[in-house]
Amino acid sequence: MHCSKCHRKAVTFIRYNGMYLCKEHFVEFFERRVKKEIRKQGLPKGTIAVALSGGKDSSVACYMLWKILKDHKDRKLIAITVDEGIKGYRDKTIEIARKLCNELGIEHYIISFKDEIGLTLDEISEIRGELAECTYCGVFRRYCLNKLAKEKDAKVIALGHNLDDVSQTILMNFIRNDLERMARMAPHKKIQPGYIPRIVPLRMVPEKEVTLYAYLKGFDVSEDECPYAIRAMRLLYREFLLQLEEKHPGSRHSILKSYLELEECLREKFPPAKLQPCKICNQPSSMPVCMACQLKEKLRKSKEK
């Protein structure tokens, strides 16, 4: 098939808008949406941190921000990688992250669960009790990211979430009746003391297109999935949304659009919780003792048993 915009050979078919695109036009289509989204979400002056796991999504988010910021004198991009301590998985992606930062000339910082929490995720897995690895991982990862970004005086943290991730999260929150969590989804507009707001530059782009973009740009990406993801509820939503998209192309976009129409009402109904420094670690929290410190304590107790 030929590109719908020129005579070159198409590399992909975009089902939800019926377009065949060649490499050049796909790259243009991809970058245009990401740039538009970044403009919409806003990039403050100062240091911009990107959470770089070394997976395809965060690598592409990092590259796009680098591309946009390389001519900006008043904004500086840094990358933060959280090392959860997952043997045979994270070691590989950390290498990829390091290589990408080297090539692009981006300062790269690594923060590990072992140093911050005292345990790797593999060790947590052995004593985790009834909570899944992903619960600990999510809380500790956010803790590590915020801590390091704050130390580096970052104004915002960019996450690699794509349209599939975001529509899964919206649906999950809706089905669990957790609208408060829905109201707290990134991008964050209100600045909270001690909490670095997040932006999500890829939220308008389906996962498949991020993969294709990474491939066309020749990025080194790992195909491996996190070994603990198998227990995550998210997988069910992922499967469901892919089936839905197959039958009704454009469903993920519709889910996000519906959310965006509700966003303001949600934020009004659930205004940001008042944050205070955690009594133990000093990181911002809506409770006297933050979730990370609570989980740390839980792990300490189960280790003693």
DSSP 239-256: HHHHHHHHHSTTHHHHHH
Shorter beta-carbon distance to Zn ion: residue 163 or 290: 290
How many Cα atoms sit within 13 Å of 226 on the Cβ side?
21
In the complex, what is the shortest distance from the CB of residue 31 to Zn ion, in angstroms, rounded to a whole number?
A: 14
The nearest distance, CB 294 to Zn ion, in angstroms, is 8
Q: Closest CB to Zn ion among 3 and 144?
A: 3
**Shortest distance (Å) from residue 147 CB to Zn ion:** 10
Q: Phi and psi at residue 277, in whole multiples of 5°?
A: -70, 135
Cα distance between residue 87 and residue 67, in whole Å: 32
Region class of 209: left (phi > 0), else alpha (psi between -120 and 50), else beta: alpha
Which parts of 105-229 fold into alpha helices (H)?
113-116, 121-127, 133-151, 163-175, 179-183, 207-216
Three-state SS at 41: helix
CB of 193 to Zn ion, least distance (A): 15
| 25 vs 142 by CB, closer to Zn ion | 25
**Site residues, Zn ion (CB under 5 A):** 3, 5-6, 8, 22, 25, 278, 280-281, 290, 293
Q: Strand 154-158 relative to strand 198-199: parallel, antiparallel, unpaired?
A: parallel
Kindly tell me which of 6 and 236 has the beta carbon lying closer to Zn ion: 6
Q: How far is the CB of 24 from Zn ion (least distance, A)?
A: 6
Task: Please identify, using beta-carbon distances, which residue of 25 and 203 lies nearer to Zn ion.
Answer: 25
